[in-house]
Amino acid sequence: MSGPSRVERLPRITGYDAVRAAGRNFERFSSLHQGDEDVRDYRQLPLEADPPLHSALRAFLVPFFSKGSLAPFQQGIEADARELVAPLKAGELEMVRGVGLPLVVRTIARLLDRPNDIEEWVSWGPSVWGDHDGRRDGAALLTFLERAVSEGAAGTGGRLFNLLANTPIAGVVLTRDQQIGVGSLLLAGGRDTVMNLISGIAWMIAAHSMHIAALRGDLAVRTTFIEETLRLTTPLGLMERIDRGVSGGDPEQSPHVGLDFASANHDSTVFTCPAELRLDRPATSPHIAFGIGPHACVGAPLARIEAHAVLNELLAVAPSGWSTTECDAQFRSVDGVEVPASFQRLVITAR
Ligand code: HEM
């Protein structure tokens, strides 16, 4: 069993107002660092950059996630969710490798226009860093990215890698390492986060079966439910920043801190009874599960499409709800209540 990661051991900024303020203040709280040093030696971009490179890269990526760009994928995502959730009709469904993993991999393949890679990406397991006897390993992802970047240069890498190789960003074409950094984040960012959200939805309904009638009858309630699950579970709960101090000190010399999105989402001054899943909260939740400020999640609209697709199918196949029959998850304690933050395995059984 591994201990806390490096970012988990850092001093933390906690509470809604402080996290929001720090997340917005990129001049003081810089993202110019490289994480996951045990498995990679390049920066994931635009996440691990500050303006002006960050703004230029983000402006390149945002159009891929606009409503208009995602609309053509929606039907396919819904069809995948239907196929993957169907086994629940026969009684039992495993949510992590049975639904979440194939759904996110197929979705990213659509987005990157690389359908032939689906099998390889599934073979890595729930995390892009693999899971070889409990060891993290970045080799499979890097080998793939090297190939995709070369194909992008040759014009055969699919829509996104082709554009990455050939589009000047802030006036210059990205280096090979920078292209790898963007590809890495797209493959990693929308993978275990979305998988944990999808399993979180199934787990939350099993734990709150009194909400099933409301969820069955009202699409707006489903939106509130998904936002509440995002708030409660906060799939990406902690992110690193360099605190350059009020005078904007040298990042090399400045202390690193953790931006605790999970604590913000459980702040009782903003969310009454924060440990409770409540469907009477405002439809537009002020939660910051997708971050805040210039680095706020680019992929949030896609994650929401995937979450709705799975929730709709679960309710269609098992309208009376389901219970959890097997659960291997890491829990986070909130006001004395245990909330699942990440899942290794979750089996549900229709009622
Ligand atoms: C439930 C699912 C997801 C959650 C909870 C989540 C959460 C987050 C959070 C908290 C951040 C901000 C990190 C920071 O401030 O340091 C972020 C950034 C990002 N996310 Fe997501 N994410 C999800 C899904 C996705 C998907 C589906 C994609 C794309 C396929 C994606 C791509 C990104 C990218 C590119 C950034 C960096 C944005 C920037 O630096 O400007 N995410 N995400």
Domain ranges of the chain: 6-350
Q: Which fold has domain 6-350?
A: Cytochrome p450 (1.10.630)
Residue 2's pLDDT is 62
- The DSSP code for 174 is P
Residue 291's pLDDT is 98
Atom of ligand 1 nearest to the CA of 294: 41
Residues in contact with ligand 1 (CB, 6 Å cut-off)? 23, 46-47, 58, 61, 185-186, 189-190, 193-194, 197, 235-236, 239, 261, 289-291, 295-299, 302-303
Q: Which residues of the chain have a pLDDT value below 70?
A: 1-2, 131-133, 335
Residue 1's pLDDT is 46
Closest CA to 7 of 208, 257, 220, 198: 257
> pLDDT of 157-213, one tens digit each?
999 999 999 999 989 999 999 999 999 999 999 999 999 999 999 999 999 999 999
Name the residue of 44, 108, 193 to mutate for ligand 1: max ligand atoms within 8 A of Cβ.
Answer: 193
Minimum CA distance residue for ligand 1 atom 14: 295
Residue 132's pLDDT is 64
pTM value surpassing 0.95:
yes
Preceding omega of 52 cis (within 30 degrees of 0): yes
Residue 22's pLDDT is 98
- Report the chain's C-alpha Rg in angstroms: 20
SS3 content of the chain, % helix, strand, coil (to 5): 50, 15, 35
Atom of ligand 1 nearest to the CA of 197: 1
> pLDDT of 105-126, one tens digit each?
999 999 999 999 999 999 999 9
